[in-house]
Amino acid sequence: MARKKHHEEGHVNHERWLVSYADMITLLMVLFVVLFAMGQTDKQKMEALRNSLQRAFSVEVLRGAEPTSLKGSSGAAIIPPVVPLAVTQEIMAVTGQTTPDPRMVQALHDVREALAQVPVPSDTSGSVDVGASREGIVISLAGNLLFDSGKSDLKPRGMTLMDTLAERLRTMPNEIRVEGHTDNIAIATPLYPSNWELSSARATTVARYLAEHGEIEPNRLGAAGFGEFHPVAPNDSREGRARNRRVDLVVLFPQSPAQQQNAVTARVADPRVARRGPQP
């Protein structure tokens, strides 16, 4: 007699859909929690972050003070804007420091970002460059943006450019040294017997314009003419000579009290310094 095989079938769970449903509900709950948290973001904190990202110059950085932490009403510090690594490497190459001052790095980045918005006429080959030196931030203006050849009177477009720069420079506490530079082509006119006089006159013109029209305190300004003796490119080509004809605005980093005292002591001890007043 043949035996019948009984196939036992497992119990069918008709409630398996509840697992997927519970997972979906959990995900929706997490989503709404995230959306709620985003909607409750501290507006003051976000405003401070927006201002920090858009600031043109870091006044505290250039003053030499420690940067102030940006905080919202909750007291949580906001991370400052990230400076590209290339800027840090540039400072390292200029100063020779393996760990450059982060304030100097931030200052260069902020100034460069601000001056990237300065309009440069499309019908000229001139440029506005921003770099760093051991003394501070260097804003280099091509000579043909400011002056006609062999002259020291600011052109209208030069005045416009200086007005734009003055808006940013007047809010800073740093001293500014205006440097005039020329190429090596000799000049000999009744007004400018050599490139010394031409470069000095151009630097003085810019410094005077910044003081009289840019509303920058005169005691923050200085002017110097370097003639043809500090080139940034070879003078054997038209492009190189055009780069050398420039005016540099050096935004000087502040010195520490010890550095200032050493500088004063060095000037007093220098036998080349002329002393005025009654002689013993």
Q: Which of 143-157, 187-201, 211-225, 265-279 has the lowest mean pLDDT?
A: 265-279
> What is the per-residue DSSP string for 13-61?
-TTTHHHHHHHHHHHHHHHHHHHHHHHT--HHHHHHHHHHHH-S--HHH
Per-domain boundaries in the chain: 118-269
Per DSSP (E only), the strands in the chain are 70-71, 77-78, 128-132, 136-142, 176-181, 221-225, 246-252
For the entire predicted model, the pTM comes to: 0.62
Strands 246-252 vs 136-142: parallel, antiparallel or unpaired: antiparallel
Packing angle of the helix pair 156-169, 102-115 (nearest 10 deg): 140
Position 101 pLDDT exceeds 80? no
Q: Average pLDDT, whole number, for the chain? A: 74
Average pLDDT on 112-121 reads 66
Question: Rounded to whole angstroms, how far apart are CA atoms 154 and 115?
Answer: 20
**Above pLDDT 90, what percent of the chain?**
32
pLDDT tens digits, 138-184 = 999 999 999 999 999 999 988 988 988 888 888 778 899 999 999 99
Position 6 pLDDT exceeds 60? no
DSSP state of 220: G
Q: Per-residue b/e over 168-188, b at no fewer than 16 CB within 10 Å?
A: bbeebebbbbbbbbbbeeebe
The fold for domain 118-269 equals 60s Ribosomal Protein L30; Chain: A; (3.30.1330)
Q: What confidence category does residue 125 fall into, taking pLDDT thresholds of 50, 70 and 90? A: low
Average pLDDT on 89-110 reads 74
